[in-house]
């Protein structure tokens, strides 16, 4: 790797100040949590932040006190951005009450990466489109085209694409949106709290980025409303092998059940769109209903309404339909 | 393998040769460290910036090291190239294959995908740290008994991941072993023997034997 400077931040304010100082000095900068993906991008010389090149300065967030804590206070569970994926898997409150998040974390990569990688890093990792990762000058690298449209688009978006057709790479992101998470962002102007739809951005809004973070802003934590007693949730990830890859399609499903009647449902898809893709039409079918196999099938069909496949990824439509149907039915009938 | 006499050219070992080459490269690299301006007639003056370095303190296999590391060194570069622990291997150098796996504060991590400077104050165990008083660990013995190494390149990483597993779950099921080992690829595809060896080590000792 090229020479760069590592700067250990003690507080979030210091982290932001270090990043600002670097930018003022004309140096490119990146915040780093676990670093498993960032170091790979740097070794591969993939354009991480369009226009800024390889980072000259890494602002290390692992040294910020308390950024890896999970706190549960009354109606809110707050999870620090530096919480490792393994810690999410192991945490009793997350396992028991926010199961979809624990299952999503457990589905990521390998034990080695889960011990290193963090919640914030997983959520803001760059796309894994093979064109982007192999140095093509696409929208994500600051260029002006998407090579998947006329190319190898097996793994690309069936919803929300254009002008870039990447899929959002995070497993945690659909789970967090399904749990109605808010995202706390800290930057030079202080902090702001964003809902999922406000945090993630479609390529039609900003083709270069997957979220609203500026170069000097950090995803500090997420806050989740504590689920009520009838709430159960699950994450189901379909891969082209059993482990150690991204989702072809995934479904994060949260059901608020009253006996065998569903009060409210939230269904968010991964692997099919440039952002975590919520399907309100499918959710609405479940509200106030007893969940039968027939209804689950209808919910699956509603989840793919409006899908627009590219030349080689239409297989994702039946796959999505099936994973939604099965996950909803299994969750509703698990007592 | 170490310590062959220099004049014994006929018996030159690969590791000895590479070690010698490395030393020569380090010497050649020295001028860049101090920040040297290069001035030549007709050539623009270019100031080569010093490579950022940081002093860290790490414990590796029970031994404390206080060293200056370049900020850009991966933990694996530090272990292999600078303190001579060549047990952990570089297969892919991109966090995919697991040959570089070491234990960081007892947990398995890819040493190619974390920086040495981030290991400041922490404890590392490499495959060289598994033996106790000259004896291999029960897990290492089981790897030998079950032919779990074919070409052997992935073996150090496999051993570290399995050691961490057996520390956490002394009597794992076959499924738990397979799940724990997904981040360690074996290009000889010797997976069945590796799983067998881990289960055998669990049966004989109930522990992988680290620390």
Residue A107: Cβ within 10 Å count: 23
CATH class of B138-205: mainly alpha
Task: Please list the residue range(s) of chain B that carry CATH number 1.10.150.120.
Answer: 138-205
**Helices marked H in A203-312:** 280-286, 293-303
Q: Is A35 on the interface with B (CB under 8 A)?
A: yes
Q: Between 3.90.1150.10, 3.40.50.300, 3.60.70.12, 3.30.465.10, what CATH number should domain A70-124+167-225 receive?
A: 3.30.465.10
Question: What confidence tens digit (pLDDT) does each residue in A166-222 have?
Answer: 999 999 999 999 999 999 999 999 999 999 999 999 999 999 999 999 999 999 999
Q: Is B78 on the interface with A (CB under 8 A)?
A: no
Provide the Cα torsion B63, B51, A36, A95; round to 10°: 60
**Is the fold of A70-124+167-225 the same as that of A231-333?**
no
Query: Which of chain A's residues have a Cβ under 8 Å away from the Cβ of B52?
Result: 3-6
- Ordered by start, the domain boundaries in chain A are 5-61, 70-124+167-225, 231-333
SS3 of residue A238 by DSSP = strand
Across the interface, whether the CB atoms of B161 and A111 are under 8 A apart is answered yes
Report whether A81 contacts A52 (CB < 8 A): no
Q: Could you say which of A2, A43, A112 has the minimum Cβ distance to residue B101?
A: A112
pLDDT at B71 over 90: yes
Q: Using 50, 70 and 90 to split pLDDT, how confident is the model at A47?
A: confident
Q: What is the mean pLDDT of residues B40-59?
A: 77
Q: Between 3.40.50.300, 3.20.20.70, 3.40.1050.10, 3.10.20.30, what CATH number should domain B53-129 receive?
A: 3.10.20.30
Mention every residue, 6+ apart, whose C-beta is less than 8 A from residue B158.
B98, B101, B143, B148, B181, B184, B186, B194
Look at residue B50 in the predicted model and tell me its pLDDT.
Answer: 85
Report whether B59 contacts B124 (CB < 8 A): yes
Nearest alpha-carbon partner for A170 in A242, A266, A83, A271: A271
Look at residue B12 in the predicted model and tell me its pLDDT.
Answer: 55
pLDDT at B211 over 70: no
Look at residue A149 in the predicted model and tell me its pLDDT.
Answer: 97
Between strands A182-187 and A76-80, the pairing is unpaired
Q: Using 50, 70 and 90 to split pLDDT, how confident is the model at B11?
A: low
CATH topology of domain A231-333: Enolase-like; domain 1 (3.30.390)
Q: Using 50, 70 and 90 to split pLDDT, how confident is the model at B3?
A: very low
Instruction: For residue A43, give the chain B residue with the closest CA.
Output: B94
The chain-wide mean pLDDT, for chain A, equals 96
Kind and range of the H or E element at B60?
Answer: strand B53-60
Instruction: For residue A242, give the chain B residue with the closest CA.
Output: B182
Q: Using 50, 70 and 90 to split pLDDT, how confident is the model at B34?
A: very low
Question: What confidence tens digit (pLDDT) does each residue in A239-293 have?
Answer: 999 899 999 999 999 999 999 899 999 999 999 999 999 999 999 999 999 999 9
Task: Please list the residue range(s) of chain B that carry CATH number 3.10.20.30.
Answer: 53-129
Quick one: B194 exposed, middle or buried, by C-beta within 10 A (0-12, 13-18, 19+)? Answer: buried
Q: Using 50, 70 and 90 to split pLDDT, how confident is the model at B29?
A: very low
Look at residue B48 in the predicted model and tell me its pLDDT.
Answer: 65
Q: What is the mean pLDDT of residues B188-197?
A: 98
Look at residue B1 in the predicted model and tell me its pLDDT.
Answer: 39
Residue B83 DSSP one-character state: S
Distance (Å, whole) CA B117 – CA B72? 8
SS3 of residue B181 by DSSP = coil
Report the CATH architecture of A5-61: 2-Layer Sandwich (3.30)
Q: Is B116 on the interface with A (CB under 8 A)?
A: no
Q: Is A195 on the interface with B (CB under 8 A)?
A: no
Look at residue A307 in the predicted model and tell me its pLDDT.
Answer: 98
Question: What confidence tens digit (pLDDT) does each residue in B133-183 have?
Answer: 899 999 999 999 999 999 999 999 999 999 999 999 999 999 999 999 999
The chain-wide mean pLDDT, for chain B, equals 84
Look at residue A331 in the predicted model and tell me its pLDDT.
Answer: 97
Look at residue A48 in the predicted model and tell me its pLDDT.
Answer: 80
Q: Using 50, 70 and 90 to split pLDDT, how confident is the model at B88?
A: very high
Q: Is A244 on the interface with B (CB under 8 A)?
A: yes
pLDDT at B4 over 50: no
Residue A34, token pair as written in the block: 């676990």
Which segments of chain A are extended strands (E)? 5-8, 29-32, 57-60, 70-73, 76-80, 182-187, 190-195, 218-225, 231-238, 249-258, 261-270, 277-278, 289-290
């Amino acid at each position: 790797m090229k020479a760069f400077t590592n700067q250990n931040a003690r507080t979030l304010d210091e982290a932001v100040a270090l990043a600002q100082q670097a930018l003022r000095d004309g140096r490119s900068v990146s915040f780093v949590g676990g670093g498993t993906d960032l170091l790979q991008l740097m070794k591969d010389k993939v354009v991480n932040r369009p226009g800024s090149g390889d980072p000259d300065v890494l602002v290390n967030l692992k040294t910020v006190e308390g950024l890896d804590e999970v706190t549960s206070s009354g109606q809110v569970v707050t999870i620090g951005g530096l919480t490792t994926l393994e810690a999410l898997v192991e945490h009793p409150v997350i396992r028991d009450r926010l199961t979809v998040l624990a299952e999503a974390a457990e589905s990521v990569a390998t034990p080695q990466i889960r011990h290193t990688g963090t919640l914030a890093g997983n959520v803001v990792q760059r796309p894994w489109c093979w064109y982007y990762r192999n140095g093509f000058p696409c929208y994500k690298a600051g260029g002006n085209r998407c090579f998947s449209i006329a190319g190898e688009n097996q793994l690309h978006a069936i919803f929300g694409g254009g002008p870039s057709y990447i899929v959002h790479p995070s497993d945690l992101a659909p789970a967090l949106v399904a749990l109605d998470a808010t995202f706390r962002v800290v930057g030079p102007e202080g902090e702001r709290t964003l809902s999922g739809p406000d945090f993630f951005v479609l390529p039609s809004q900003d083709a270069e980025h997957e979220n609203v973070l500026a170069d000097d802003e950090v995803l500090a934590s997420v806050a989740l409303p504590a689920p009520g007693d009838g709430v159960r949730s699950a994450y189901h990830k379909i891969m082209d092998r059993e482990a150690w890859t991204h989702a072809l399609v995934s479904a994060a499903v949260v059901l608020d059940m009253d006996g065998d009647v569903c009060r409210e449902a939230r269904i968010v898809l991964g692997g099919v769109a440039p952002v975590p893709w919520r399907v309100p039409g499918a959710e609405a079918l479940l509200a106030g209903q007893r969940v039968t196999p027939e209804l689950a099938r209808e919910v699956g069909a509603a989840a793919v309404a409006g899908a627009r496949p590219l030349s080689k990824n239409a297989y994702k439509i039946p796959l999505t339909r099936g994973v939604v149907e099965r996950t909803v039915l299994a969750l509703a009938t698990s007592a | 393998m170490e310590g062959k006499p220099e004049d014994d050219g006929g018996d030159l070992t690969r590791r000895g040769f590479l070690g010698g080459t490395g030393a020569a490269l380090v010497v050649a690299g020295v001028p860049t460290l101090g920040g040297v301006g290069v001035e030549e007639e007709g050539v623009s003056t270019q100031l080569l910036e010093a490579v950022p370095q940081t002093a860290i303190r790490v414990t590796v296999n029970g031994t404390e090291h206080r060293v200056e590391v370049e900020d850009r060194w991966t933990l694996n570069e530090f272990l292999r190239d600078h303190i001579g622990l060549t047990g952990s291997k570089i297969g892919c150098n991109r966090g995919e294959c697991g040959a570089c796996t070491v234990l960081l504060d007892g947990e398995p991590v890819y040493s190619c995908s974390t920086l040495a400077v981030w290991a400041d104050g922490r404890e590392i165990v490499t495959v060289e740290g598994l033996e106790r008083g000259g004896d291999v660990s029960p897990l290492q013995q089981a790897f030998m008994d079950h032919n779990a190494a074919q070409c052997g390149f992935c073996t150090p990483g496999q051993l570290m991941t399995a050691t961490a597993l057996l520390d956490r779950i002394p009597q794992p099921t076959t499924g738990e072993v397979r799940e724990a080992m997904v981040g360690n690829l074996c290009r000889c595809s010797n997976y069945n023997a590796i799983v067998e060896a881990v289960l055998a080590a669990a049966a004989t000792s109930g522990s992988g034997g680290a620390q």
